[in-house]
Chain A
Amino acid sequence: MTVLCFVETDGDGVADVSLRALTLAKELASSAGGHVAAVLFGDFRSR
């Protein structure tokens, strides 16, 4: 089971608010024995 987490970025990289959203996503996924997949838009790998 997968929980997707929409991750936003800011000037420093991953936005702090998205790390907080990831925390809840992990809680949700673990309740069903699943895992979290982060979803980012744009070419973030070069940052």
Chain B
Amino acid sequence: MTGPLAEHGVAEAYAVSAGDGYAPAAWARALAELAVSRAAAAVTAAATDRGSEVLAHLGAITGQPVAAGCVSARFVSPGYCELTRQRWAGSLLEDATLEATLALLSVAADAVPATPGEATAEITVQPFLPEIPDADLRVRASESTERGGGVSLATARVVVGGGRGVGGAEGFAPLEELAELLGGALGVSRVVTSEGWRPHRQQVGQTGTKISPELYLACGISGAIQHMAGCLSAKNIVVVNTDPDAPIISRADYAVIGDLSQIIPALVEALRDRPGPA
């Protein structure tokens, strides 16, 4: 676990015990205590659901401002941080100066590549046991639901997407199997969750998850601007659609004009027959 951290130049890490399971207020309280004890100047987190929620609590606890969706940041003097951040679902970039004794920044992970730095020879891991008031443990996750074989939609290297063109809840089985064969995750458009075909946690887009996979295979998705706001960071977009005029095709690297109910099962069969791990 510490290997990737060392590869990214981290020499110091803290293992925090703050209750069983995810407890946003308790985790934020722990970060606040740690920030004071380390005289930290900033706290960063990926702009995921958890990262954003914990930073929001941390802002409330410390009274410090949170800058969301940052793509770059630097201190220009103590307490002053110049940053660039995404606004309007990433459609524009804002340059701003954050004045704070503790700068709280969520990172637009889809726009910031993971860049290993000078690796550290050894990483020191220290336990940290914060004092957590009972009130901060009132909201916590006691169990989690399945997440597509453990691959997170936000971090998947391959995402297989399905939209209205899938036709109904029963039509997603081949897409799920394809995602599994590719070691990826299933994502869907807003109309799919609105129809109740799939849960909201699988929604890609402005009001869902922003993805940045190596491959986004979008099947039966027209490409509304709200959906594209969540997937434009994909390295490669491949579209399967019967409509050659669908807006998403203008954003695609490759497009297959055809019926997904024929193409996807054929692709699944080909991958099943491939020797070795898919």
Chain A residues in the interface with B (C-beta under 8 A):
1-11, 13-29, 31-32, 34-45, 47
- Per a CB cutoff under 8 Å, which of B3, B8, B31, B117 touches A6? B31
Decide if A6 touches B44 in the complex (CB within 8 Å). Answer: yes
A16 neighbours in B (Cβ, 8 Å): 109, 114, 155
B115 neighbours in A (Cβ, 8 Å): 23
Complex interface bits, B41-54 against A, C-beta within 8 A gives 1, otherwise 0: 11111101011001
B43 neighbours in A (Cβ, 8 Å): 3-6
- Per a CB cutoff under 8 Å, which of A2, A32, A44 touches B38? A2
- Per a CB cutoff under 8 Å, which of B40, B76, B152 touches A10? B152
- Per a CB cutoff under 8 Å, which of B35, B45, B117, B150 touches A21? B45
Decide if B16 touches A8 in the complex (CB within 8 Å). Answer: no
B8 neighbours in A (Cβ, 8 Å): 19, 22-23, 26
A39 to chain B, nearest CB (A): 5
The number of residues on chain B lying at the interface, defined by a beta carbon within 8 Å of a beta carbon of chain A, is: 61
A23 neighbours in B (Cβ, 8 Å): 8, 112-115, 117
- Per a CB cutoff under 8 Å, which of B27, B38, B40, B109 touches A41? B27
B144 to chain A, nearest CB (A): 12
- Per a CB cutoff under 8 Å, which of B15, B45, B70 touches A45? B15
B125 neighbours in A (Cβ, 8 Å): 45
- The answer to the question of B81 belonging to the interface, with a C-beta cut-off of 8 Å to chain A, is yes
Q: Which residue of A lies closest to B48 (CB)?
A: A17
- Give B105-131 interface residues, CB cut-off 8 Å to A: 105, 107, 109, 112-115, 117, 125, 128
* 9 other A-B residue contacts (CB within 8 Å) besides A17-B107, A20-B114, A42-B16: A2-B38, A6-B51, A7-B13, A8-B50, A22-B8, A38-B10, A41-B16, A41-B18, A45-B2
